Chains A and B, each alone.
Chain A
Amino acid sequence: MSLADILKRTCKKLGENNKPTYVVMAIATVKGICRPTFTMMDKTENPETKKYTALREGLTEVIAIPAYWACGELAGGLAKKVFAKDKALANRAATNLMFMGVCVAALFVIPGLCSVAIKPIMDKMGLKAPDKKDQPKKMIQEVPNTYSPVSLNPLLYKNKFPQMQAFTSRPQTGLRVGGL
């Protein structure tokens, strides 16, 4: 069978029934191969980071492929059972519910499974998240410069009783001439 014949048969099958699971599973499969490959090819990243990121990306798609298939097929099968009396309606409902199943997988099932499963798997493999170059900006609150005069004078630490100069309203930094 030539390539043209295979393409023609594929076109006919897709034209008759283009299941919503086909495209999402195809995307997830190619993503599962390409994204880790691109990550491993990145020369600017250190090897440990590359290994961790690539494995994480690969695992996400490995979880996504069966999740899409299972959610779509389960929902489609349910529709066929519910609308068993009317075959025309059953086919349409199966397509619609299969699409809804895929949507539910994209919205809840896959992110949920990934957040539950990936971390333990990575831990079992002995891989921990390395320090990333692009860390989020740390929200450091600027502490106002309110040094107490006591802390500025090391001699005062030894004296339990604060001296008069500890209560001065004058600034304790900068150039001063005369006075306290």
Chain B
Amino acid sequence: MIGAVQKMLTSSNLASIAQNTTQSVAIETTLKSIGRPGFILIDNDIDSDTKQYAAAKEFLYQATCLAVYMALIVPVFKKGGFKLAKEKLFKNTNGFEHFANVNEYLHYRKLADNPSINNRQATLSKELITSKNKVSDKYNETLLAELKKEHPEKFAYVKGAVELSNIVGSVLGLAILAPQVSHAFIHPALRFLGLEDKNKKAQSQSQKIDTKA
């Protein structure tokens, strides 16, 4: 039991998720979409209809945030940030010259994080699914030499540029864009679920007619 807990706490996969802005934000948003509606539902001070409505609204808000984040922010800022850093900020220096795009760097980083040199070499000798080329063909001599070392260069500037771009994208997406999108989406969704009056205007008009009658 203690061994399993220790293994989980020192897991390299979990550390990789924790150091990755997009993955950690996606997990936290998912947890928020469970936690916040859950706490609304267990609140005894609110009547059950209001609780149901508020919990559904909060869940829909977090779900919209997650959808907007995954669909727009992740691809745009991850690729855009790398390109901007490579072409403008670092101008093909500090490790950027070795990588054509962000996916190439992330794959290299994953290999470099693997502590076993044998595992790295085994991965490099594998064939790519899309073509008959080997994985090692993607990397230049410098990178292949690094991967043979016990502690290979991880190109902190490249990783940092990607993460900084992801943080900026996450902030813009979750704090500014997603609330605007969710504002337009939530009320129709609540009406569709039957938690908000469908024909409020029609009802108020008919009430006026009734009072006159």
Verify B10–A96 contact, CB threshold 8 A.
Answer: yes
Verify B28–A136 contact, CB threshold 8 A.
Answer: no
A52 in the interface, Cβ–Cβ < 8 Å? no
- Checking A38, A103, A139 against B27 with a beta-carbon cut-off of 8 angstroms, the contacting residue is A103
Verify B50–A8 contact, CB threshold 8 A.
Answer: no
Verify A111–B196 contact, CB threshold 8 A.
Answer: no
- A23 with B167: in contact, given A11-B160, A12-B160, A13-B160 (CB under 8 Å)? yes
Q: Which of under 10, 10 to 19, 20 to 34, or 35 or more describes the interface residues of B?
A: 35 or more
Number of A-B residue pairs, CB cutoff 8 Å, is 144
A46 in the interface, Cβ–Cβ < 8 Å? no
Instruction: Tell me the dominant secondary structure on chain A's binding face.
Output: helix
- A30 with B175: in contact, given A8-B157, A14-B160 (CB under 8 Å)? yes
A66 in the interface, Cβ–Cβ < 8 Å? no
- A23 with B25: in contact, given A11-B161, A16-B156, A138-B49 (CB under 8 Å)? yes
Q: B residues within 8 Å of A by Cβ?
A: 8-12, 14-15, 17-21, 24-25, 27-28, 31-32, 34-36, 38-40, 43, 45, 49-50, 52-54, 85, 89-90, 154-161, 163-164, 166-167, 170-171, 174-176, 179-180, 187, 190, 194-197
30 contacts between A and B (CB under 8 A): A11-B156, A12-B156, A14-B167, A15-B155, A16-B156, A17-B19, A20-B18, A22-B167, A26-B167, A26-B170, A27-B174, A30-B171, A30-B176, A35-B175, A83-B9, A95-B15, A95-B19, A96-B11, A103-B31, A106-B31, A107-B32, A111-B35, A111-B36, A111-B39, A115-B39, A115-B40, A134-B196, A136-B54, A136-B195, A139-B49
